[in-house]
Amino acid sequence: MKKQTILNLISCEMKSFILLCVSFVILSSCSTYHQVPNIRSLRFENTINSKQKLSLSKSIEEIVNAGGNHYRKKAIIKQLSSFGLEENTRQERIDWLSVQKNIIVDIPGESDSLIYIVAHYDKTDINPFKLASIYLNGLLDPLISWSYTSQGAIDNATGVAVALQLAKSIAERDNKFSYRILLAGSEESGLRGSRAHVARLSLKEFDKIKFVVNIDVVGVKGKQNCVYTVSDDDLEQEALIIAKQNNIELGVGTFPIGATSDYLPFKKTSFGLDFARSFAFNLTGSLLPQRSY
């Protein structure tokens, strides 16, 4: 992806988008693994109105209560339809071994310059059946959707809810740039959903991407760190500046060693690294390593 200096090229629309994104992320910060956040108790009058707060809270609750990954996808599609984004939404297969699909929402703007908002919707837990399903590329998911022992609220219902609310807000206004919301499946199986998506992009389409905002594991109670050190330096600094100007607490966190998320495929690596990631997370999936280069 071609790098551009965000500090020099940032527009009013970009500042508005970053502020909106930061605000929704902060709004989700009172949630825990076992409790849907009470968004109504928070105040961000300058950025998010009460209707948006309630919508975010409801969105998190519906995803958390949906059940397994198969039903989480259905809940997300239903929410997008209620936002009037049904015609903007499509599903994308991952590979012939994956039962999950990517959900993609395209919101056109005045130009074809593209901004990605990415969040994975699949979850995992300590359920031995689910762990087995991961190593089998998620093939058991439809059979064990009833048996999850955790809600997957932080990883990653809150992130998906933030992405959905951003999609709704962006669709309600005129935009200079085009936006694509990628709600990826099979992230827990080795980033397979996002890697499959990136691999299918033509060089021409990939070059249209200005930047990618990946939303993962947000809303941890008592934590303000939302921007991580794997971020683009210019975009990270711009987010911190805008947050400070609007009196929003935003810190910089260090990404855990060995941890990955759906930002990685957009960096375009190599066959060797892609195969290693597949093998580490997903024995069956390693037979079909999704490329991201």
> What's the pLDDT score for residue 154?
77
Q: At what angle do helices 12-27 and 50-66 cross, to 10 degrees?
A: 60
- In this structure, is residue 291 part of a structural domain? no
- In this structure, is residue 220 part of a structural domain? yes
Q: β-pairing, 114-120 with 178-184?
A: parallel
> What's the pLDDT score for residue 119?
94
pLDDT tops 70 at residue 221: no
> What's the pLDDT score for residue 247?
79
- In this structure, is residue 37 part of a structural domain? yes
- In this structure, is residue 144 part of a structural domain? no
How far apart are the C-alpha atoms of 61 and 121, rounded to whole Å? Answer: 14
Report residue 183's pLDDT band, with 50, 70 and 90 as the boundaries: very high
More reliable by pLDDT, 227 or 166: 166
CATH code of the domain covering residue 82: 3.40.630.10
Share of the chain above pLDDT 70, in %: 60
- Report how many domains make up the chain: 1
How far apart are the C-alpha atoms of 1 and 217, rounded to whole Å? Answer: 25
What's the pTM?
0.78
Question: What would the pLDDT profile of 21-80 be if each residue is shown by its tens digit?
Answer: 655 554 444 333 333 333 333 333 345 667 777 788 888 889 988 888 888 999 999 999
- In this structure, is residue 282 part of a structural domain? no
Instruction: Please spell the DSSP secondary structure of 148-161, one letter per residue.
Output: -SS--IIIIIHHHH
- In this structure, is residue 285 part of a structural domain? no
Q: At what angle do helices 50-66 and 69-82 cross, to 10 degrees?
A: 150
What average pLDDT score do residues 248-277 get?
Answer: 73
pLDDT tops 70 at residue 270: no
- In this structure, is residue 293 part of a structural domain? no
What average pLDDT score do residues 238-259 get?
Answer: 76
Count of Cβ atoms closer than 10 Å to residue 291 Cβ: 17
Q: What angle do CA 128, 286, 159 make, to 5 degrees?
A: 60
Report residue 181's pLDDT band, with 50, 70 and 90 as the boundaries: very high
Range of the domain at 237: 6-122+151-270
- In this structure, is residue 77 part of a structural domain? yes
> What's 32's DSSP letter?
B
Question: What would the pLDDT profile of 89-125 be if each residue is shown by its tens digit?
Answer: 999 998 776 778 999 999 999 999 999 999 999 887 6
> What's the pLDDT score for residue 116?
93
Contact 37, 28 (CB under 8 A): yes
